[in-house]
């Protein structure tokens, strides 16, 4: 059975983009993989996080993952900072990755923005820690949204260079799993920007904890163009907002854009948005309710994470120790 690792930052409430691009696949993959799912609090502090909020958001993220259907009995759910092997391997990877490789990372450019001098050093080496998250378990498959493709290519470059420099076949090749018609969900306010939990505008995203009225209002107000929906997917070319809403509908209905347009093509956005809102509410409300139920017992959620961290460390500690031995560190 192949081992999976994936991560999500506790930098806010998970969005519909997280759900369709990643979390829904995480749940499905549990049937035929050994899965480790990680709330990446170390990654979150690459940009400022209020300490009280970070702790609360880590717990909320874990509750939301449980509500989506992550099974902490058969698989492993934990928070990154509790398993020190990630950081031990990340330091070695900081010394493997080349500046030239990191300079090409588009997520750094996006997140650092114009004031690059003022970005944290952590934000710059973020992809090295992400490579360590995966490789410290010798995981081979990584389900992510499309925005993480470049980071996974870098992780493979790091693994290869480590193996080459130390003359070993220690780290495996990672296969990205970028699945479904909504591997990149865009902002409801701007069809060229990805939907993000850290976007300053709450209107740009649907949160997994939004109530039905909020979801309906956000979809009704979502940006569109004045044309009716096209009859075929080719007609979505150059219409990013229309493409996004059709992609979301297709993902939620577990079909594809052609089938959605066969039903809704030729109509205006008004009735389509009503149908999309109803579908979104039907899919998300049970998750929101289960997240609230889980959060009513914060100690219970924390206990799940602590137990997960212990099990994760049992796998990661020996692999980190072996990497350190290969590098030439004396045992501690």
β pairing state of 76-79 and 175-177: unpaired
Q: Is 223 a catalytic residue?
A: no
Q: How near is the Cβ of 58 to ligand AMP at its closest, in Å?
A: 12
Retrieve residue 82's tokens: 């509790």
Query: Residue 142 binds which one of ligand TRP, ligand AMP, none, with CB within 5 to 8 A depending on kind?
Result: ligand TRP
Q: Which is nearer to ligand TRP, 130 or 316 (CB)?
A: 130
Distance CA 33, CA 27 (A): 10
- Length reported for the chain: 332
Q: Does 35 bind ligand AMP (CB under 6 A)?
A: no
User: Contacts with ligand TRP in 238-297 (CB under 6 A)?
Assistant: none
Task: Indicate which residue of 109, 161, 193, 197 is catalytic.
Answer: 197
Distance CA 15, CA 270 (A): 23
The correct pick among 145, 181, 191, 247 for binding ligand AMP (CB under 6 A) is 145
Q: Print the SS3 string covering 105-156.
A: CHHHHHHHCCCHHHCCHHHHHHHHHHHHHHHCCCCCEEECCHHHHHHHHHHH
Q: 39: which residues sit within 8 A by CB, 6+ positions away?
A: 7, 8, 9, 10, 58, 61, 62, 65, 77, 78, 79, 80, 305
Q: Is 197 a catalytic residue?
A: yes
Stretch that binds ligand AMP, among 68-76, 141-149, 156-164, 251-259 (CB under 6 A): 141-149
Task: Indicate which residue of 109, 111, 218, 223 is catalytic.
Answer: 111
User: Contacts with ligand AMP in 178-197 (CB under 6 A)?
Assistant: 183-185, 194-197
Distance CA 29, CA 179 (A): 11
Q: How near is the Cβ of 242 to ligand AMP at its closest, in Å?
A: 17
Q: Which is nearer to ligand TRP, 246 or 320 (CB)?
A: 320
Look at residues 22, 197, 38 and name the one whose alpha carbon lies nearest to residue 132. Answer: 38
**For the purposes of burial, counting CB atoms within 10 Å of the CB of 123, is it exposed (0-12), middle (13-18) or buried (19 or more)?**
middle
> Which three-class secondary structure state does DSSP give residue 190?
coil
Q: Does 148 bind ligand TRP (CB under 6 A)?
A: yes
The correct pick among 16, 36, 40, 295 for binding ligand TRP (CB under 6 A) is 40
Q: Is 193 a catalytic residue?
A: no
The correct pick among 36, 92, 144, 277 for binding ligand TRP (CB under 6 A) is 144
Query: Residue 130 binds which one of ligand AMP, ligand TRP, none, with CB within 5 to 8 A depending on kind?
Result: ligand TRP
Residues of the shown chain interacting with ligand AMP in the complex, contacts defined by CB under 6 A:
8-9, 17-18, 21-22, 144-145, 147-148, 183-185, 194-197
Catalytic positions: 111, 194, 197
């Amino acid at each position: 059975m192949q081992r999976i690792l994936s991560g999500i930052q506790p930098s806010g409430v998970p969005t519909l983009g997280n759900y369709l691009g990643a979390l829904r696949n995480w749940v499905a993959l549990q049937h035929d993989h050994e899965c480790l799912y990680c709330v990446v609090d170390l990654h979150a502090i690459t940009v400022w996080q209020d300490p009280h909020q970070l702790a609360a958001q880590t717990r909320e993220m874990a509750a939301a993952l449980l509500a989506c259907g992550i099974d902490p009995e058969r698989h492993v759910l934990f928070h990154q900072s509790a398993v020190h092997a990630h950081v031990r391997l990340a330091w070695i990877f900081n010394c493997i990755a080349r500046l030239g490789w990191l300079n090409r990372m588009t997520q750094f450019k996006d997140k650092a923005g114009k004031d690059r001098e003022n970005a944290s050093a952590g934000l710059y080496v973020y992809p090295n820690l992400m490579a360590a998250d995966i490789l410290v378990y010798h995981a081979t498959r990584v389900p992510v949204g499309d925005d993480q493709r470049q980071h996974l290519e870098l992780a493979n470059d790091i693994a290869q260079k480590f193996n080459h420099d130390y003359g070993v076949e220690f780290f495996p090749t990672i296969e990205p799993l970028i699945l479904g018609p909504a591997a990149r969900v865009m902002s409801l306010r701007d069809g060229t920007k990805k939907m993000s939990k850290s976007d300053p505008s709450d209107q740009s995203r649907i949160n997994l904890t939004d109530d039905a009225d909020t979801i309906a209002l956000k979809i009704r107000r979502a940006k569109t163009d004045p044309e009716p929906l096209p009859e075929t997917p080719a007609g979505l070319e150059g219409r990013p907002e229309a493409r996004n809403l059709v992609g979301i509908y297709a993902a939620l209905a577990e079909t594809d854009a052609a089938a959605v347009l066969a039903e809704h093509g030729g109509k205006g956005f008004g009735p389509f948005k009503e149908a999309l809102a109803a579908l979104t509410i039907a899919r998300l409300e049970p998750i929101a309710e289960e997240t609230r139920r889980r959060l009513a017992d914060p100690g219970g959620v924390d206990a799940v994470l602590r137990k997960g961290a212990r099990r994760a460390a049992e796998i990661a500690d020996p692999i980190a120790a072996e990497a350190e031995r290969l590098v030439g560190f004396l045992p501690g």
